[in-house]
């Protein structure tokens, strides 16, 4: 078995490992950091697979094709390695655009130049083929851009190594991680140098040989020493991706950390949520400041961008060894929930067809009005109304026309009686109006005028014009001991009397008559 067959077997094992690792990383974590590691595994896979197929090609055309294919992955290996280091050490957030240009512009240009090399030979000055003991191999003469790419890749590795050194030297328990990750970076750099210098004089890609060792060291660091620090990364992801705004406050009342939702929330209030004393930062947001200073939970209403928003702010204390270390303020925007609840309450109290209050709302609000009128000494009158012969409307003209009549009287009642009147549809064709602050004559006058106006309202059904009348019974609260139910009963009796007398008339309750 030739050395090239052994190398091919080695590469096939690495290809399988790259695929497995890409899938496994994504299964462990779906954070942005894990995604970059997965992309790094995929770039490594494309690179090694392309070179393996190039090494086992039997024609020059095949070798050229698979050599070009490798450059869909080669330029991005060191770039993604640096990006993973930046994310791990949280060094990318403030200079995303600058870092992105520095990291990816050269690899993209490299890929394009390699794929179009036959037109300009700027990446490879020349490509030749040699037969070594019956094995067809590809030899490359590097062009000027190859030097640029090599320097760029070495700088990526060097910067990454520096970032990890700076991060790990601050923590004594990370020394073993440091050794492994340093070796991984050094091995990758050696692969680049060997590929460019070819000190052994063998027509192989040394980077492809060295890189799997580098990746192996990274895998050991991850598995043995939790190099990814899954728990910390998971907590950070939860901190940033939650629906609520989160602000971390120290025991000295300093804001020491916050998530993106919190930053956006305070930016809408023209507040720069930098680290520092919260009394200074939140001086223009007194309600938030009060809630942050409180150890309990609070609900506040704040005007933001011309809309009142409601926030529930809860406090989660952070304690260590029974001593307080600070608190996490959880700011939940419940405006939509409040609006929905308010809408549901409104719907539960309203009659959809007439647009008036329903019986439940009338009974609840009527009792409240009775108590207020009793305390203030205001008069109170209840008008009970019933549409006359409403069954005939449904029978002769259909229920759709009956609904139209209900809608019309609902609108007419709201227009005729003042806005402070409590108006409701109690059910079917029965309606009620509760008035306070009017004398008997004024109430009777308003009832009579409504009766006349509504009786004059024409309805049209299939070219037939018809009119609908109402009967009205009036009851007045005259005794402190009268309950609201008693007032309804009195108005009902007056209404029945109006119907017995021929309908389309107003009858006021009288203790002498009933």
pLDDT of residue 25: 61
Confidence of residue 174 (pLDDT cuts 50, 70, 90): low
Decide: 336 and 454 in contact? Cβ < 8 Å: no
**267-320 confidence digits (pLDDT tens):** 888 888 876 678 888 888 888 888 888 888 889 898 888 888 899 999 888 775
Bridging pattern class, strands 458-461 and 422-427: unpaired
Rounded distance, CA 366 to CA 50, Å?
Answer: 83
Going by C-beta distance under 8 Å and a sequence separation of 6 or more, which residues neighbour residue 159? 82, 85
In degrees rounded to 5, what are phi and psi of residue 84? -65, -40
The closest alpha carbon to 406, from 355, 357, 474, belongs to 355
> Chain-wide mean pLDDT for the chain?
82
More confident residue, 317 or 491: 491
Decide: 120 and 77 in contact? Cβ < 8 Å: no
Rounded distance, CA 42 to CA 394, Å?
Answer: 73
pLDDT at 465 over 80: yes
Bridging pattern class, strands 245-250 and 323-333: antiparallel
Mean pLDDT calculated for residue range 24-33: 58
Confidence of residue 452 (pLDDT cuts 50, 70, 90): very high
pLDDT of residue 109: 93
pLDDT at 203 over 60: yes
CA angle 242, 243, 248 (to 5 degrees): 60
pLDDT at 498 over 60: yes
Bridging pattern class, strands 380-387 and 254-258: unpaired
Confidence of residue 27 (pLDDT cuts 50, 70, 90): low
Mean pLDDT calculated for residue range 434-440: 92
**109-133 confidence digits (pLDDT tens):** 999 999 999 899 998 898 888 877 7
Cα-based distances in Å from 3 to 10, 55, 114, 188: 11, 11, 28, 22
The closest alpha carbon to 430, from 473, 395, 394, belongs to 473
**331-359 confidence digits (pLDDT tens):** 998 888 888 888 787 788 899 899 899 99
Mean pLDDT calculated for residue range 48-62: 86
Going by C-beta distance under 8 Å and a sequence separation of 6 or more, which residues neighbour residue 272? 266, 281
The closest alpha carbon to 357, from 432, 423, 404, belongs to 423
**2-22 confidence digits (pLDDT tens):** 666 777 777 777 777 767 766
**207-236 confidence digits (pLDDT tens):** 777 777 776 776 666 555 555 555 455 556
- Tell me the pTM: 0.44
The closest alpha carbon to 146, from 174, 191, 113, belongs to 113
Could you please report the per-residue DSSP string of 280-325? HHTTT-HHHHHHHH-SS-EEEEEEETTEEEEEEEEEEEEEETTEEE
CA-based max dimension of the chain: 129
């Amino acid at each position: 078995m030739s050395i090239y067959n052994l190398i091919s077997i080695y590469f096939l094992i690495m290809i399988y490992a790259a695929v497995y690792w890409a899938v496994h990383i994504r299964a462990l974590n779906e954070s942005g950091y894990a995604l970059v590691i997965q992309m790094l595994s995929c770039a490594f896979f494309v690179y090694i697979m392309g070179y393996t197929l190039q090494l086992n090609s039997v024609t020059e055309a095949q070798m050229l094709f698979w050599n070009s294919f490798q450059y869909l992955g080669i330029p991005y290996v060191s770039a993604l390695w640096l990006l993973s280091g930046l994310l791990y050490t949280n060094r990318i957030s403030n200079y995303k655009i600058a870092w992105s240009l520095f990291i990816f512009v050269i690899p993209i240009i490299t890929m394009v130049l390699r794929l179009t090399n036959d037109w300009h030979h700027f990446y490879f000055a020349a490509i030749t083929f040699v037969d070594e003991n019956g094995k067809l191999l590809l030899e490359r003469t590097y062009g000027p851009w190859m030097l640029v790419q090599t320097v760029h890749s070495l700088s990526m590795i060097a910067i990454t190594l520096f970032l990890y050194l700076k991060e790990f030297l601050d923590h004594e328990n990370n020394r073993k991680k440091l050794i492994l990750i340093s070796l991984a970076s050094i091995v990758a750099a050696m692969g680049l140098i060997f590929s460019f210098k070819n000190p052994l004089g063998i027509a192989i890609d040394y980077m492809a040989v060295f890189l799997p060792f580098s990746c192996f060291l990274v895998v050991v660091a991850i598995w043995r020493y939790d190099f990814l620090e899954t728990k910390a990364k998971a907590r950070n992801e939860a901190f940033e991706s939650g629906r609520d705004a989160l602000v971390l406050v120290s025991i000295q009342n300093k804001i020491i950390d916050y998530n993106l939702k919190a930053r956006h929330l305070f930016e809408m209030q023209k507040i720069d949520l930098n680290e520092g004393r919260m009394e200074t930062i939140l001086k223009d947001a007194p309600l938030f400041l009060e809630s942050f200073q409180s150890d309990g939970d609070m609900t506040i209403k704040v005007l933001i961008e011309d809309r009142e928003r409601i926030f529930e702010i809860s406090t989660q204390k952070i304690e260590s060894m029974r001593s307080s270390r600070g608190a996490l303020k959880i700011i939940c925007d419940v405006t939509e929930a409040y609006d929905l609840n308010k809408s549901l309450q409104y719907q539960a109290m309203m009659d959809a067809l007439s647009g008036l209050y329903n019986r439940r709302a009338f009974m609840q609000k009527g009792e409240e009005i009775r108590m207020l009128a009793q305390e203030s000494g205001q008069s109170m009158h209840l008008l009970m109304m019933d549409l006359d012969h409403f069954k005939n409307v449904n029978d002769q003209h259909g229920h759709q026309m009956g609904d139209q009549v209900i809608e019309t009287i609902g609108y007419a009642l709201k227009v005729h009686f003042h806005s402070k009147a409590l108006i409701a549809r109690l059910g079917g064709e029965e309606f009620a109006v509760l008035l306070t602050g009017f004398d008997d004559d004024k109430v009777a006058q308003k009832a009579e005028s409504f009766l006349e106006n509504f009786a004059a309202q024409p309805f049209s059904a299939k070219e037939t014009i018809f009119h609908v009348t109402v009967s009205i019974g009036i009851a007045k609260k005259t005794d402190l001991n009268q309950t609201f139910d008693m007032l309804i009963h009195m108005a009902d009796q007056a209404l029945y009397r109006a119907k017995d007398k021929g309908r389309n008339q107003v009858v006021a309750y009288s203790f002498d008559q009933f």
